[in-house]
Amino acid sequence: MGHGVTMFIMMLLGLMAVAVQGEDPYLYFTWNVTYGTISPLGISQQGILINGQFPGPEINSTSNNNVVVNVFNNLDEPFLLTWSGVQQRKNSWQDGSLGTGCPIAPGTNYTYKFQVKDQIGSYFYYPSTRMHRSAGGFGGLRINSRLLIPVPYADPEDEYWVIIGDWYTKSHTTLKKLLDNGRSIGRPDGVLINGKTAKGDGSDEPQYTMKPGKTYKYRICNVGQKNTLNFRIQGHSLKLVESEGSHTVQNVYDSLDVHLGQCFSVLVTADKEPNDYYMVASTRFTKTILTGKGIIRYTNGKGPASLNLPEAPVGWAWSLNQFRSFRWNLTASAARPNPQGSYHYGQINITRTIKLVNSVSNIQGKFRYAINGVSHVDPETPLKLAEYYGVADKVFKYNIISDAPPANLNMITVEPNVINATFRTFIEIIFENPTKTLQSYNLGGYSFFAVAVEPGTWSPEKRKNYNLLDAISRHTIQVFPKSWAAIMLTFDNAGMWNLRSENAENRYLGQQLYISVLSPEHSLRDEYNLPETQLLCGIVKDLPKPPPYST
């Protein structure tokens, strides 16, 4: 072979190696979203299925994978999926909330494209509009650690999803109508574990099996509408290893309170008598306790599961103490090889404190929920699109709430609730909950340090009680009744991000807002351009596309 040809082949091989290394792998999914009849509580009802499945199929990804999901909406209503906990670096376009994108029209398809960049952990996706989440369309989203990055525990024998949630037998359209009429959706009818609950009459098939002596990872997420759930497994303890993307100090618990929207990964070892055991999820802080059950079977035996279910804890002080026991493992690797604790969030100066107080009010006979006196409504033109096209002033006003709540929280106005945050600033957000109901908030685009949760009202002196060392970094935080919670984060991800109540009723009736984070550079380094395929609606539909960022 001539020298030139050899050189050429070597160059070609080199280029191929670069191409292979240069781009992270792609995972492709095609999802058909349809109605279907399901009867998780023994009563037939209309569910939302993905590829015929309820709950929907899992996304099994690894840090930095590119995920491409082509979603065919075969419902008779607009549909939108959000990827709870996926940080969508530079890419709020794909976040799937009504403030960032248009819903997929019935009978059409849309392809989400996003990267699960520098993240690990257990997450879930769900439909973000019209009470759809109450009918299904949700599923697990796992992000495995890359091979070469050490994980602080041995590889489990297998991994099992535990998607739990309270459940209504009323259809999502009925629930939506109740809310549209300013009424409550009332109490749920049951609790599901992976879309079902065991009858306990001996006819139940096991959901999962465990080999004696082996250790399994259970990924637990609460995708419900209204209630915190306590999760436990008869006779077995739960060793907490991960929570919403953080490797935790590996404490052992009899049970975990999983607030709305939260996820945990735990290890469970099959070291008990070879019988069946119930996993149990039951509502917390409710007068009537609803319970969902599922069977786990040892492969070397199948004595029936005892009907003597382990008790749930009582009261929310227990839950508060459990929150305080969650600690970041400072020496464990993050999604990248550097240790989690190398990010010293406790030493960064706070540039701004935003205090958000929730309230509920009755406006002309209809309930609305609000944050700092404003009850959010989604305009027809997504906020992000309005901003990008330079027509924000025609769609919404920035900063109608201020960083402190108004004196009279019962005076509620109903309008889009959008605040600005300066790019790369370190901000403290206080959630204060003067109501008697537990709140749970999720922030898109970020994870934050949950530094304190305490009873009473917040004041600056309370900062001395913050955990500034090893609080876990997560995306959803609960606020107990008549209590407050403090979170801290750097707003380094440009985009339009939804801060929302995880309680379906509160969210639907306005307890949410958007945080606009703009990079002053208008650079591709900080934010991706509007994707070519982005759905357009509202007043931007026929406007000429703004020139894209080129550098």
Ligand X SMILES: *[C@@H]1O[C@H](CO)[C@@H](O)[C@H](O)[C@H]1NC(C)=O
Segment contacting ligand X by CB under 6 A, of 189-197, 260-268, 325-333, 400-408: 325-333
Segment contacting ligand X by CB under 6 A, of 327-335, 354-362, 404-412, 481-489: 327-335
DSSP per-residue string spanning 198-219: --SSS-PPPSEEE-TT-EEEEE
| Structure-token pair, residue 157 | 């024998």
Q: What's the alpha-carbon Rg for the chain, to the nearest Å? A: 24
Segment contacting ligand X by CB under 6 A, of 108-116, 176-184, 267-275, 316-324: 108-116
The CB-of-35 to ligand X minimum distance in angstroms stands at 9
| Structure-token pair, residue 422 | 């300066």
Among positions 64, 171, 209, 250, the unique one binding ligand X when judged by CB under 6 A: 250
User: Which is closer to ligand X, CB of 258 or CB of 332?
Assistant: 332
The CB-of-544 to ligand X minimum distance in angstroms stands at 20
Report the length, in residues, of the chain. Answer: 551
- The count of chain residues that interact with ligand X, using the rule CB under 6 A, is 25
Question: What are the b/e assignments for 404-433, b being 16+ CB within 10 Å?
Answer: ebbeebeebeeebbbbebebebebbbbbbb
Segment contacting ligand X by CB under 6 A, of 86-94, 277-285, 329-337, 370-378: 329-337
Among positions 349, 364, 550, 551, the unique one binding ligand X when judged by CB under 6 A: 349
User: Which is closer to ligand X, CB of 52 or CB of 455?
Assistant: 52
Cis, peptide link before residue 55, omega less than 30° from 0 = yes
Backbone torsions φ then ψ of 520, nearest 5 degrees:
-65, -20
The CB-of-321 to ligand X minimum distance in angstroms stands at 19
Q: Please name the residue that has the structure tokens 């995972």.
A: 27
Among positions 46, 62, 171, 173, the unique one binding ligand X when judged by CB under 6 A: 62
Segment contacting ligand X by CB under 6 A, of 39-47, 162-170, 185-193, 328-336: 328-336
User: Which residues have CB under 8 Å from 207's CB, separation 6+?
Assistant: 160, 193, 194, 196, 279, 294, 295, 296
The CB-of-251 to ligand X minimum distance in angstroms stands at 8
In contact, 448 and 514? CB cutoff 8 Å: no
Among positions 122, 134, 329, 493, the unique one binding ligand X when judged by CB under 6 A: 329
Residues paired with 242 in a beta bridge: 247, 265
The CB-of-513 to ligand X minimum distance in angstroms stands at 14
Among positions 60, 181, 325, 342, the unique one binding ligand X when judged by CB under 6 A: 60
Helix (H, G, I), strand (E, B) or coil at 322: helix
Alpha-carbon span 419 to 496, nearest angstrom: 10
Proportion of the chain in helix, strand, coil states, percent, rounded to 5: 15, 40, 50
- Which residues from 175-194 bind ligand X, rule CB under 6 A? none
For the purposes of burial, counting CB atoms within 10 Å of the CB of 351, is it exposed (0-12), middle (13-18) or buried (19 or more)? Answer: middle
Question: What are the b/e assignments for 52-70, b being 16+ CB within 10 Å?
Answer: eebbbebbebbbbbbbebe
The CB-of-76 to ligand X minimum distance in angstroms stands at 13
Alpha-carbon span 510 to 368, nearest angstrom: 6
**Identity of residue 550:** S
User: Which is closer to ligand X, CB of 207 or CB of 478?
Assistant: 207
Segment contacting ligand X by CB under 6 A, of 68-76, 279-287, 423-431, 434-442: 68-76
The site map against ligand X for 408-447 (x = CB under 6 A) is: ------------x---------------------------
Among positions 46, 53, 111, 425, the unique one binding ligand X when judged by CB under 6 A: 111
152 lies in the binding site for ligand X (CB under 6 A): yes
The CB-of-66 to ligand X minimum distance in angstroms stands at 14
**Identity of residue 548:** P
In contact, 111 and 69? CB cutoff 8 Å: yes
Segment contacting ligand X by CB under 6 A, of 70-78, 86-94, 125-133, 202-210: 70-78
The CB-of-13 to ligand X minimum distance in angstroms stands at 26
Segment contacting ligand X by CB under 6 A, of 105-113, 293-301, 316-324, 537-545: 105-113
The angle at the Cα of 179, spanning 178 to 181, to the nearest 5 degrees, equals 70
156 lies in the binding site for ligand X (CB under 6 A): no
The CB-of-434 to ligand X minimum distance in angstroms stands at 27
Among positions 29, 253, 343, 398, the unique one binding ligand X when judged by CB under 6 A: 398
Q: Which residues bind ligand X (CB under 6 A)?
A: 32, 34, 60, 62, 70, 72, 74, 109-111, 144, 150, 152, 249-250, 329, 331-332, 349, 398-399, 420, 516, 518, 533
